[in-house]
C-alpha cells in the first residue's frame, strides 16, 4: 500500500469520516443539524474526490514523462451514470465508505441516490462510450474522452395519463463535484463567414478563413478511474462561452443589447443534447455542436504535442483518434485545416497524417440515420471545410476512376457529395475516406456494412474493415448494480473475474449444485423485491416478486418492436379471458425507455403499453397472473436496479436492424435468459450460451430481405391468423383507449398496410417461443441452471475484451502502469 500525498487522502474509514465532516463544513458550509441529503452526498463526493486527485496527478505525470501514445475517443455523447458508487468501487473503499456513513448515523444508499446522473447521451452509443473509457482506465491505456458538456442532458421523462411528458434535465443544479474547470486550456472556435485565397510574394498559396463568429471552448475534466489500479484517465468535456473580445465591433456601434444577444447565442452551442434518433435533418445548431467539440479537441491535442515538443508530423504516433459514429467525422476536414492552413504542412503530408490518425466506428444500418448535411447549410457554417472536403473528394474520386475506369455510377455512389437531388455532404463517406480503419459493432452488423451500407468502400479497401463486437463494463453492471450476486460469485471463484470476465466460466460446474442454485435464486428474488418496491412507488402497481419479470428496456422505436411485445401480452390476456382457469405462470411485464420528443409513433407505443396496463392490471379475471408496468425515466441509475432483477430479457428487433444492442449483455451477465431474434449481438450471445439456453424466434436477415423483395402484404398475415386478428381488432376498436377507436388508428393502420418492421410476419413465431419460455419457467431448477450458464458464459461481452480488440487491431496503444506519487 502506498502512502498518500497528504493525510487528507488516506483511504481508511476514520480518515474518510473526518474528511466528510470537514467538507460538510468547509465546502458545503453546513453543519449536521442544517444539512440536507444533497449536502451529505456532496460532502462525501468531495471526500472521495480528494482521494482521486493523487491518482489523477500521478497518471498525468507518468504519461507526460513516458510521452505515452494516447487514445482520443471522440464522442458527442457520454452516458456516464452516477460517479460516486463507481469511484468507491474502483478505489476499493465502497465498504469503508458505507461503514463510515452508517457510523455517522446516515443512510448510505439514500445518500448515493442524491446524485443527479450526467445523462449526456441518448442510449446505447453514449453508454458504450462510457463503458469504453472505464475499460481503457482499467487496462491502463492512456486515453482522453472528448465530448460536450451539455447544460441539459437527455430529457427527464414522466408519464401523465399514459403519455410521455418531457422535462429539462437540470443535472448541474446543485453543482458537479466530479469536474474541474480548466479555463487555462480554453480554445477559440471559428464559425461562419467566408474564405480568402491569396498568392503570397514567395509564390505560395494561402487561405484565410474570416469567420463571422468566434466561440470559446472551456474544458471541464472528470477523472475516470481504473478498477483497483493507480490509473485515472480524463473525460474532457467542452463548454461554449462567448469570448468578450469579439463583441467589440457591435459595442463600437453602440449596440450593447445586440452584443449581449450574440453572447447568449454562442453559449447555446453546448446548451442541450439532441435526441439523436429523431430524423430532424438539417439542424444548424447540431452541426455547430459537432464542429465545436471536434475543433476544441483537435486543438487540445495539438497543444499537448507542443507542450511535449513533438513535431506535428508525428501526430498519428502520439494520438489514435476514434470517431464514435459520424457525429465527429468533421474531424477529418478540421485536422487537415489545422495542419495545412494553420501549421503550413504540405497537403499530401497532412493527408497521410490524417488517415493514419483516424478510425471510424459505424453504429447503425438504418438509412434514415446516416448523417448528411445540405450543402448550403454546410457552406454557411463551415465555408473553409467545404472547400477542403471538395479537395479531398477530387483526389479521392481520381483514385476511384483509376481503379474503375468508366464506372461513373460507382463514382457517384462513392462521392463525398450526394448529387442525386439537392446536394448533401455525406458524413459517413468523409469518415471512411479519412480513416485507416472502419468497424461495425457486432459480427452481423459488420457483415451487413460490407455487403450493403458501405459495400463500395469495402470493395475499394477491404483491409480497412473489421468487426469489434460491443461490450459493457462488469464494474458498473455487475459489481455496482448487483452486490449480492457479486458476493456469491466472488465467494465461489475469487475476485479475478471482475478484471477477467472469462473467468465466470468457473461457475459452470456450480450450475449442477442444488445448493448453489438455491443461493442464485435467493439473490434474484431479493433483487426483484427491491425492484418491486420501486415499481410500487413510481407506478403505483403491486407486482409479485415471485412472478417472472419479463423486461424490455431501451429507447422506444418501431424497429425495436416494443409493440410486438404488446401484441403478445394482449394475446395472453385474451387467452385468460377465454379460459379463466388456465394454468399460467404469473408474469410481470416491465417496460422502460424514452421516445424522441418528435417521434409520434413511438409516443403512441408508450400510450399503448400503459393502456394495456390500465386494463390488465385491474381486471379481476386475470387474478394477478399478468401485470404490465411502464417504469418512467429509464436511465443508467434505473438500469442498475432493473437488469439485476430481470428473469427474461426481450431483444426482439427485426433481424438486420439493431447494430448490436448492449442492454442484451447487461441482462445476460446478471442471469436473465434472452428471448430474441437473430439480430445484432444476440447472435453472438446465443453462440456462447448455446442454442438450448436461448429462446430464438423470428425471421433471419436474409428471410426478411426475401419477404421484402417478394412483396410483403401484412394485411394477408392479419387475415390468416385468427389470434392476431383478434388482438389487432381489440386495439383498433378502442379496448385499450377507453372506447376511443381513433387513438391507436395510426399505429394499427401502419401495421396493417405497411408494417415496415415485419411484426405480423414474426408474431406467430414470437407467441410460440413465449409459450416455450413459460413452460421452461415452471421447471424452476432447469431455469436456474440456464440462468447460471448465461451469466457464466458472458465473459466475451466485457468491454475489456472490446477494448483489447480495438487496441490490438487499430490503436496499438500499450498499457502504461502508473506509479503513485507520494
Ligand atoms: C437510429 C435512428 C433510427 C431512425 C431514425 C433516426 C435514427 C437516428 C439514430 C439512430 C441510432 C444512431 C446510432 C446509435 O445510437 N446506434 C446504437 O449504437 C449502439 C452501440 O454501438 C448499438 O448497441 C445499438 O444497436 C445502436 O442502435
Q: What is the DSSP string of 334-364?
A: HHHHIIIIIT---HHHHHHHHHHHEEEE---
Distance 325 CA to ligand 1 centre (A): 9
Asked if residue 482 belongs to a domain, the reply is no
Does the beta carbon of 439 sit less than 6 angstroms from any atom of ligand 1? Answer: no
CA angle 236, 6, 235 (to 5 degrees): 10
Q: Would strands 232-241 and 213-225 be described as parallel, antiparallel, or unpaired? A: antiparallel
Catalytic residue flag (residue 554) = yes
Distance 123 CA to ligand 1 centre (A): 8
Q: Are residues 634 and 659 in the same domain?
A: yes
Number of other residues whose CB lies within 10 A of the CB of residue 264 = 11
Q: Are residues 639 and 577 in the same domain?
A: yes
Residue nearest to atom 7 of ligand 1 (CA): 277
Q: Are residues 649 and 576 in the same domain?
A: yes
Q: Could you identify the atom of ligand 1 that is nearest to the CA of residue 680?
A: 25
Q: Are residues 108 and 188 in the same domain?
A: no
Work out the end-to-end distance of the chain between its first and last CA atoms, rounded to an integer number of angstroms. Answer: 11
8 Å CB contact between 582 and 576 = yes
- All residues at 6 or more sequence positions from 545 whose CB lies less than 8 Å from its CB, including other chains: 525, 528, 529, 532
The catalytic position among 236, 499, 666, 732 is 666
The catalytic position among 326, 662, 677, 701 is 662
User: How confident is the model at residue 4, as a pLDDT?
Assistant: 57
Asked if residue 807 belongs to a domain, the reply is no
Q: Which domain holds residue 344?
A: 71-79+122-152+168-391+421-468
Question: Cell 422535462 appears where?
Answer: 167
Number of other residues whose CB lies within 10 A of the CB of residue 370 = 16
Does the beta carbon of 428 sit less than 6 angstroms from any atom of ligand 1? Answer: no
Q: Are residues 548 and 461 in the same domain?
A: no
- H helix intervals, 11-140: 13-26, 37-66, 84-91, 94-103, 108-112, 124-138
How far is residue 399's CA from residue 402's CA, in Å, rounded to a whole number?
5
Residue nearest to atom 20 of ligand 1 (CA): 125
- All residues at 6 or more sequence positions from 352 whose CB lies less than 8 Å from its CB, including other chains: none
Q: Are residues 110 and 137 in the same domain?
A: no
Its sign, for the CA torsion 463, 465, 471, 475, is positive
State the total domains in the chain.
3
Interface confidence (ipTM) of the complex: 0.97
Distance 125 CA to ligand 1 centre (A): 7
Catalytic residue flag (residue 464) = no
Q: Are residues 517 and 379 in the same domain?
A: no
Overall pTM > 0.90: yes
CA 86 to chain CA centroid, Å, is 17
Asked if residue 412 belongs to a domain, the reply is no
How far is residue 339's CA from residue 312's CA, in Å, rounded to a whole number?
8
User: How confident is the model at residue 254, as a pLDDT?
Assistant: 76
Q: Consecutive 10-residue runs of the chain (822 residues): their mean pLDDT?
A: 62 91 89 90 96 95 94 98 98 96 96 96 97 98 98 97 97 97 98 94 89 97 98 98 68 76 86 79 88 98 96 98 98 98 97 98 92 97 98 98 98 98 98 98 98 97 98 98 98 98 98 98 98 98 98 98 98 96 95 96 98 97 93 98 98 98 98 98 98 98 98 98 98 98 98 98 98 98 98 98 98 97 86
Asked if residue 404 belongs to a domain, the reply is no
The catalytic position among 49, 363, 450, 627 is 363
Q: Would strands 205-210 and 213-225 be described as parallel, antiparallel, or unpaired? A: unpaired
Asked if residue 295 belongs to a domain, the reply is yes
User: How confident is the model at residue 281, as a pLDDT?
Assistant: 59
Closest Cα partner for 805 from 136, 76, 80? 136
Number of other residues whose CB lies within 10 A of the CB of residue 780 = 12
Does the beta carbon of 470 sit less than 6 angstroms from any atom of ligand 1? Answer: yes
How far is residue 405's CA from residue 449's CA, in Å, rounded to a whole number?
25
Choose one of 124, 370, 799 to mutate for the ligand 1 pocket test, by most ligand atoms within 8 angstroms of C-beta.
Answer: 124
Does the beta carbon of 321 sit less than 6 angstroms from any atom of ligand 1? Answer: no
At 157, which helix (H) or strand (E)?
strand 156-160
Q: Are residues 174 and 50 in the same domain?
A: no
Residue nearest to atom 5 of ligand 1 (CA): 277
User: How confident is the model at residue 1, as a pLDDT?
Assistant: 45
Its sign, for the CA torsion 642, 647, 652, 655, is positive
Does the beta carbon of 659 sit less than 6 angstroms from any atom of ligand 1? Answer: yes
HSE-up (13 A, CA, CB side) for residue 306: 7
Distance 369 CA to ligand 1 centre (A): 7
8 Å CB contact between 622 and 576 = yes
Distance 277 CA to ligand 1 centre (A): 7
Distance 586 CA to ligand 1 centre (A): 34
Closest Cα partner for 439 from 537, 362, 519? 362
Q: Could you identify the atom of ligand 1 that is nearest to the CA of residue 557?
A: 3
Q: Are residues 549 and 589 in the same domain?
A: yes
Asked if residue 725 belongs to a domain, the reply is yes
Q: Are residues 381 and 447 in the same domain?
A: yes
Question: Cell 480554453 appears where?
Answer: 186
Q: Are residues 442 and 545 in the same domain?
A: no
- Find the CATH number of the domain harbouring 751: 3.40.50.2000
Asked if residue 233 belongs to a domain, the reply is yes
Asked if residue 822 belongs to a domain, the reply is no
Q: Are residues 103 and 141 in the same domain?
A: no
User: How confident is the model at residue 38, as a pLDDT?
Assistant: 94
Amino acid at each position: 500500500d502506498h502512502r498518500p500525498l497528504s493525510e487528507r487522502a488516506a483511504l481508511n474509514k476514520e480518515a474518510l469520516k473526518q474528511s466528510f465532516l470537514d467538507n460538510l463544513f468547509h465546502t458545503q458550509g453546513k453543519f449536521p443539524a442544517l444539512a440536507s441529503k444533497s449536502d451529505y452526498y456532496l460532502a462525501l463526493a468531495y471526500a472521495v474526490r480528494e482521494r482521486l486527485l493523487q491518482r489523477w496527478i500521478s497518471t498525468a505525470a507518468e504519461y507526460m514523462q513516458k510521452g505515452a501514445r494516447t487514445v482520443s475517443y471522440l464522442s458527442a455523447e457520454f452516458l456516464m451514470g452516477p460517479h460516486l458508487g463507481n469511484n468507491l468501487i474502483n478505489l476499493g473503499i465502497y465498504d469503508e465508505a458505507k461503514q463510515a456513513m452508517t457510523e455517522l448515523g446516515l443512510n448510505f444508499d439514500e445518500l448515493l441516490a442524491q446524485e443527479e446522473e450526467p445523462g449526456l447521451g441518448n442510449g446505447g452509443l453514449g453508454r458504450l462510450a462510457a463503458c469504453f473509457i472505464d475499460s481503457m482506465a482499467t487496462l491502463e491505456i492512456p486515453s482522453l474522452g472528448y465530448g460536450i458538456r451539455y447544460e441539459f442532458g437527455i430529457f427527464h421523462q414522466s408519464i401523465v395519463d399514459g403519455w410521455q411528458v418531457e422535462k429539462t434535465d437540470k443535472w448541474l443544479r446543485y453543482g458537479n463535484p466530479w469536474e474541474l474547470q480548466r479555463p487555462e486550456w480554453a480554445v477559440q472556435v471559428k464559425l461562419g463567414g467566408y474564405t480568402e485565397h491569396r498568392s503570397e510574394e514567395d509564390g505560395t498559396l494561402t487561405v484565410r478563413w474570416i469567420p463571422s463568429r468566434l466561440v470559446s471552448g472551456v474544458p471541464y475534466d472528470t477523472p475516470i478511474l481504473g478498477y483497483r489500479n493507480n490509473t485515472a484517465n480524463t473525460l474532457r468535456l467542452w463548454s461554449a462561452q462567448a469570448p468578450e473580445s469579439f463583441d467589440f465591433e457591435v459595442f463600437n456601434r453602440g449596440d450593447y443589447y445586440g452584443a449581449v444577444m450574440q453572447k447568449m447565442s454562442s453559449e447555446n452551442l453546448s446548451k442541450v443534447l439532441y435526441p439523436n434518433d429523431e430524423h430532424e435533418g438539417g439542424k444548424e445548431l447540431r452541426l455547430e455542436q459537432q464542429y465545436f467539440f471536434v475543433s476544441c479537441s483537435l486543438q487540445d491535442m495539438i497543444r499537448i504535442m507542443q507542450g511535449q515538443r513533438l513535431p506535428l508530423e508525428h501526430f498519428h504516433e502520439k494520438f489514435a483518434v476514434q470517431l464514435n459514429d459520424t457525429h465527429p467525422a468533421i474531424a477529418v476536414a478540421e485536422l487537415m485545416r489545422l495542419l495545412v492552413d494553420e501549421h503550413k504542412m504540405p497537403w499530401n503530408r497532412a493527408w497521410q497524417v490524417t488517415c493514419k490518425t483516424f478510425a471510424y466506428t459505424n453504429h447503425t444500418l438504418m438509412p434514415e440515420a446516416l448523417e448528411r448535411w445540405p450543402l448550403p447549410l454546410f457552406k454557411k457554417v463551415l465555408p473553409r471545410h467545404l472547400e477542403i472536403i471538395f479537395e479531398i473528394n477530387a483526389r479521392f474520386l481520381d483514385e476511384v476512376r483509376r481503379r474503375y475506369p468508366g464506372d461513373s455510377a460507382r463514382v457517384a455512389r462513392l462521392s463525398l457529395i450526394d448529387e442525386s437531388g439537392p446536394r448533401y455532404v455525406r458524413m459517413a463517406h468523409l469518415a471512411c475516406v479519412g480513416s485507416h480503419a472502419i468497424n461495425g459493432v457486432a459480427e452481423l452488423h459488420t457483415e451487413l456494412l460490407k455487403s450493403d451500407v458501405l459495400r463500395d468502400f469495402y470493395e475499394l479497401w477491404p483491409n480497412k474493415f473489421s468487426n469489434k463486437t460491443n461490450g459493457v463494463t462488469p464494474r458498473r453492471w455487475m459489481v455496482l448494480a448487483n452486490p449480492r450476486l457479486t458476493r456469491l460469485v466472488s465467494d465461489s471463484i475469487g475476485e479475478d473475474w471482475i478484471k477477467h470476465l472469462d473467468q465466470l466460466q468457473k461457475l459452470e460446474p456450480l450450475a449442477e449444485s442444488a445448493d448453489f442454485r438455491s443461493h442464485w435464486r435467493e439473490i434474484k428474488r431479493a433483487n426483484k423485491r427491491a425492484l418491486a418496491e420501486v415499481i410500487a412507488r413510481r407506478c403505483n402497481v403491486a407486482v409479485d416478486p415471485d412472478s417472472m419479470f419479463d423486461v424490455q428496456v431501451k429507447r422506444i422505436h418501431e424497429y425495436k418492436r416494443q409493440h410486438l411485445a404488446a401484441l403478445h401480452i394482449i394475446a395472453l390476456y385474451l387467452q385468460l379471458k377465454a379460459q379463466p382457469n388456465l394454468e399460467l405462470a404469473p408474469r410481470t411485464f416491465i417496460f422502460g425507455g424514452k421516445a424522441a420528443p418528435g417521434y409520434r409513433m413511438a409516443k403512441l407505443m408508450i400510450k399503448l403499453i400503459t393502456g394495456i396496463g390500465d386494463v390488465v392490471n385491474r381486471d379481476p379475471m386475470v387474478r394477478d397472473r399478468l401485470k404490465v408496468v411502464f417504469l418512467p425515466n429509464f436511465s443508467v441509475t434505473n438500469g442498475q436496479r432493473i437488469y439485476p432483477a430481470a428473469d427474461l430479457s426481450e431483444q426482439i428487433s427485426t433481424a438486420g436492424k439493431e447494430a448490436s444492442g448492449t442492454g442484451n449483455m447487461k441482462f445476460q451477465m446478471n442471469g436473465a435468459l434472452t428471448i430474441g431474434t437473430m439480430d445484432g449481438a444476440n447472435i453472438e450471445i446465443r453462440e456462447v450460451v448455446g442454442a438450448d439456453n436461448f429462446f430464438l424466434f423470428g425471421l433471419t436477415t436474409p428471410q426478411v430481405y426475401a419477404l421484402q423483395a417478394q412483396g410483403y402484404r401484412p394485411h394477408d398475415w392479419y387475415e390468416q391468423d385468427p389470434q392476431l386478428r383478434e388482438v389487432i381488432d381489440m386495439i383498433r376498436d378502442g379496448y385499450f383507449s377507453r372506447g376511443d377507436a381513433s387513438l391507436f388508428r395510426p399505429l394499427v393502420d401502419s401495421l396493417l398496410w405497411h408494417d415496415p418492421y415485419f411484426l405480423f410476419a414474426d408474431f406467430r413465431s414470437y407467441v410460440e417461443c413465449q409459450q416455450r419460455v413459460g413452460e421452461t419457467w415452471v421447471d424452476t431448477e432447469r431455469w436456474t441452471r440456464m440462468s447460471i450458464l448465461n451469466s457464466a458464459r458472458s465473459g466475451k461481452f466485457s468491454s475489456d475484451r472490446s477494448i483489447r480488440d480495438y487496441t490490438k487491431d487499430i490503436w496499438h496503444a500499450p498499457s502504461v502502469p502508473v506509479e503513485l506519487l507520494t
